């Protein structure tokens, strides 16, 4: 027979499942606001570019907050042991909106769409690049879901989940880099002059294409899932506090630096592994 305390304990347990879902809902809300702010900014570029810059900055900040909510919902689900298959699928659907569609709309509204006329071939190329980014992001999320349910098989034949690294650039940092760039300079590219705006818009296309390729690559990126699980939590609190204050005081510079550092560190690791001398056992393992 269940006691009253047992029923209360079960009620609390069921309530814990709502916490990660609430952060996922906040993630979706930020993506929704980012899309609306980008569209509104695009509408008034010609008449009020200063106000358009404010809307673009709102969209960039919304994507940045969505990254925070996306990080917290997964960590809270693991801490409270309330991770479910429904939560994994809901989180991926939220990421498609917030880190796939929202940065695409922002990049188009802030740069490509406002710079190139629809009759210009570069406009169509920009649309194609943005679509490729979105498709790469969706494929990246699908691969992540498969890896989460099917752990990688080691050479010995045993199964082990690689918690330290992601395979390919995760879609939140990719969207975060686009948002950080817009937050750093929210003024629409089209108001900078024809030659400068063309150069920046083409650079934005190249960056977006590179981000898409990195997402579907096999480069390893740190997951930070084990951060906070060790004995050095005091240092972690100090680092987080320092970063929080730096973001509060110098958000344009710090967020851009963090985004660039994370996106590029996978490439740096790959190049370092190529350049470092390999042992005979590693060479035999790869050849076998």
Write the pLDDT tens digit of every residue in 104-122: 999 999 999 889 988 889 9
Alpha-carbon distance of 55 to 37, in angstroms, equals 5
Higher pLDDT, 81 or 271: 271
Give Cα 261 to chain centroid, integer Å: 13
pTM: 0.82
As a whole number, mean pLDDT of residues 184-210 equals 92
What confidence score (pLDDT) does residue 245 get? 86
Write the pLDDT tens digit of every residue in 231-277: 556 676 777 788 888 888 888 999 999 999 999 988 888 888 888 77
Residue indicated by tokens 């590693």: 282
Angle at 175 between CA 163 and CA 88, to 5 degrees: 45
As a whole number, mean pLDDT of residues 46-64 equals 94
State the number of CA atoms in the 13 A half-sphere of 274 facing the CB. Answer: 7
- Report which of 248, 227, 225, 249 is spatially closest to residue 237, judged by C-alpha positions: 227
Phi, psi of 193 (to 5 degrees): 110, 155
Confidence class of residue 156 from pLDDT cuts 50, 70 and 90?
very low
What confidence score (pLDDT) does residue 86 get? 65
pLDDT beyond 50 at 1: no
Confidence class of residue 285 from pLDDT cuts 50, 70 and 90?
very low
pLDDT beyond 80 at 173: yes
What rounded mean pLDDT belongs to the chain?
81
Is the CB of residue 59 less than 8 Å from the CB of residue 41? Answer: yes
Is the CB of residue 220 less than 8 Å from the CB of residue 269? Answer: yes
Kindly state the DSSP code that residue 116 receives in the 8-state scheme: S
Confidence class of residue 9 from pLDDT cuts 50, 70 and 90?
very low
Long-range contacts of 226-229 (CB under 8 A, 24+ apart): 226/163, 226/164
pLDDT beyond 60 at 230: no
255 Cβ contact partners less than 8 Å away, ≥ 6 residues apart: 64, 176, 180, 183, 184, 247
Q: Give the CA dihedral 214, 220, 221, 225, nearest 10 degrees.
A: 140
As a whole number, mean pLDDT of residues 149-165 equals 52
């Amino acid at each position: 027979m269940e006691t009253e305390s047992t029923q209360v304990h079960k009620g609390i347990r069921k309530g814990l499942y709502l916490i990660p879902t609430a952060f996922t809902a906040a993630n979706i809300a930020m993506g929704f606001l980012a899309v609306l702010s980008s569209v509104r900014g695009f509408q008034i570029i010609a008449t009020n570019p200063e106000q358009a810059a404010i809307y673009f900055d709102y969209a960039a900040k919304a994507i940045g907050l969505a990254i925070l909510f996306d990080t917290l919902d997964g960590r809270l689900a693991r801490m409270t042991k309330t991770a479910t298959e429904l939560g994994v699928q809901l989180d991926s659907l939220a990421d498609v909106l917030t880190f796939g569609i929202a940065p695409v709309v922002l990049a188009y509204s802030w740069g490509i769409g406002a710079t190139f006329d629809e009759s210009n071939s570069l406009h169509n190329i920009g649309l194609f690049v943005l679509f490729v980014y979105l498709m790469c992001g969706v494929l990246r999320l699908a691969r992540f879901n498969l890896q989460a349910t099917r752990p990688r098989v080691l050479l010995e034949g045993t199964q082990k989940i690689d918690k330290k690294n992601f395979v390919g650039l995760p879609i939140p940092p990719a969207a975060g880099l686009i948002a950080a760039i817009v937050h750093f300079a929210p003024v629409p590219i089209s108001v900078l002059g024809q030659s400068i705006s063309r150069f920046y818009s083409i650079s934005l296309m190249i960056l977006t294409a590179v981000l898409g390729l990195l997402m579907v690559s096999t480069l390893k990126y740190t997951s930070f899932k084990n951060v906070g699980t060790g004995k050095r939590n005091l240092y972690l609190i100090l680092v987080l506090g320092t970063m929080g204050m730096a973001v509060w005081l110098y958000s344009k510079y710090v967020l851009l630096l963090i985004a660039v550092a994370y996106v590029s560190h996978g490439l740096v690791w790959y190049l370092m592994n190529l350049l470092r001398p390999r042992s005979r056992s590693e060479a035999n393992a790869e050849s076998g």
